[in-house]
Amino acid sequence: MIKPVTQNNNPDNAYAFELFFEISLDLLCIAGYDGYFKRINPSVSALLGYTNEELLSHPIDDFVYPDDRNVTAKAREKLTNSNPLLNFENRYVTKSGEIVWLSWTSLSVESDKLIFAIAKDITHKKQLEQERNALLANLTKNNKDLKQLTYTTSHDLRSPVNNLLAIFSFLDLSKISDEETLQLIKLLQLGSEGLQQTLNNYIDSLSTKDGLNEKIEPLDLQASLQIVQQGLSSLLQKAKATINSNFTALPVVSFNKAYLESIFLNLISNSIKYARPDCLPVITISSRKVFGVSQLLITDNGLGFDMEKIKDKIFGLHQKFHHHIDSKGIGLYLVYNHITSLGGHIEVESKINEGTTFIISFRD
C-alpha cells in the first residue's frame, strides 16, 4: 500500500513519482518496442475492464479495435524512429465489447526501447461529434431537398401563370360594361403578374448562386409591402383584412429583396389564415431602431400561440399549431431561415386569442 505524501517527504524522490503514476485519472502506459505493455496505471484497467495481468500478457494490438490496427502500427513505427506522437486518436475494445476512443501523446526512449504514453478518454467527445455530424448531414439533406422543391415549384408554376396571363391578353375589356366585373378582372391580372414576377425572381436567384441570400441591398419597406399587398389583394378583400403600416422611424433596411417579400407574404397570409372567427383581421406593421439595431414588427389580432407549450418549435419544419386545411408548417420555417441565414434574429410574443407579434432584427 502506498503511504500518503507528507510535508517531510521529498517531492523529487521515487515515491512521489510512483504516487503520481498510480493516482492519475489519465491513462499512463509504458510499452516496449516489442508491442507489449510493460507497465500501466490503474486507470487503464478501470477503463478497459481487463486485469493488469491480462493487459501485460497480451500484445497491445489485441486490445485495439481491428479497423484501427494498421494506422496504430504506422504511428508506433514513427514513434520508434524517435518521432513524438501528439494527439493521436484510435479506438480500443473493452472486455465487455464496448468501443472507447483514446487520444494519445507518446514519446520513445531509444536507449531503453521503451515508449512512454499518456491517453485521455475522448469517447464522449466522439459521440457528440457523431451526433453533430449526423444532424448536419440531415440538415444539409433537408436544405437540399427544400431548395430543389422551391426550384421545381417555382419553375413548374410559371407555365399555368403564363397561360393565365395570356388569357387576360385575349380579353377585350371595352366590351365589358359591368364595373364590378372589370375591377375583379384587373385584380386577377394584377395578382397573376405579381406571382409571375415573384416566381421569376426565385428562379433567377436560385440559378445565380446556391441560395437567395447572396444579394443584400437597401430596400424600401413600404415599396416591398406594397408589392406583396398587390399579390394578396383578393385574399385581403375576401377576409376584409386591414393592414396598418408605419415606417417613418425606419423607412429602409439592408436585406435581400426576395427574402423580405417572402417574410411579408408568409406573415401576412398567416395572420389572415389564423384570424379569430369573432373579429376581422387587423395587421399592424412598423419599423424602428433600437440601440442601433434595425427592427421590423408585424402584429396581428389573431388566434395566437401558447408560447409555454410550443417554445422553440414554432419555427420548425412541418410544425402545425392550429387546424387549418391550408396549413403545411413551412411558412414560419422559411421566415426563420430567411432571417437567420443573413445574420438576423426573430422573436415571437403571443397569447392565445390575443394575437401575435413578430420582432425581426436585421444585421446592419
Tens of pLDDT, residues 8-28 = 455 556 777 788 888 899 999
User: Angle at Cα 102 formed by Cα 98 and Cα 108, nearest 5°?
Assistant: 135
Residue 4 pLDDT greater than 50, yes or no: no
In this prediction, residue 213 has a pLDDT band, given cuts at 50, 70 and 90, of very low
* pLDDT (average), residues 267-276: 89
User: What's the confidence (pLDDT) of residue 325?
Assistant: 46
pLDDT score of 130 more than 80: yes
Are 189 and 256 members of one domain?
Answer: no
Percent of the chain with pLDDT over 90: 45
DSSP character at residue 2: P
The stretch 243-250 carries a mean pLDDT of 96
Q: What mean pLDDT do residues 54-81 have? A: 93
Q: What is the CATH number of the domain that holds 64?
A: 3.30.450.20
Across 89-103, 111-125, 215-229, 305-319, least confident range? 305-319
Q: Are residues 194 and 241 in the same domain?
A: no
Q: How far apart are CA 69 and CA 61, in angstroms?
A: 6
Number of domains present in the structure of the chain = 3
- The verdict on 181 and 203 lying in the same domain is yes
Same domain, 227 and 193: no
Specify if 293 maps to a domain.
yes
Write out the residue range of the structural domain in which residue 187 sits. 128-211
* Separation between Cα atoms, residue 120 and residue 53, nearest integer Å: 22
Together in a domain, 282 and 349 = yes
- Is residue 57 predicted with pLDDT exceeding 70? yes
Q: Specify the pTM.
A: 0.49
Please tell me which residue, 296 or 186, carries the higher pLDDT value.
Answer: 296
Side chain identity at 255, as an amino acid letter?
F
* Domain end residue (candidates: 211, 231, 260): 211
Same-domain status, 236 and 334:
yes
Beta bridge partners of residue 203, listed in sequence order: none
Q: Are residues 221 and 349 in the same domain?
A: yes
Q: What is the mean pLDDT of residues 219-230?
A: 93
Is the per-residue pLDDT at 232 higher than 90?
no
Would residue 3 count as lying in a domain? no
How many other C-beta atoms are found inside a 10 Å radius of the C-beta of residue 53? 9
Alpha-helical runs (H) found in 58-217: 69-80, 123-170, 179-208
**What cell numbers appear for 29 in the block?**
502506459
Please give the Cα distance from 62 to 95 (Å, whole number). Answer: 11
**Sheet order of strands, 282-290 included:** 242-246, 282-290, 293-300, 355-361, 345-351
Cell for 345?
434574429
Note the pLDDT of residue 246. Answer: 97
Residue 155 has pLDDT above 60, yes or no: no
244 and 100 share one domain: no
Mean pLDDT of the chain: 83
For residue 334, the domain's CATH number is 3.30.565.10
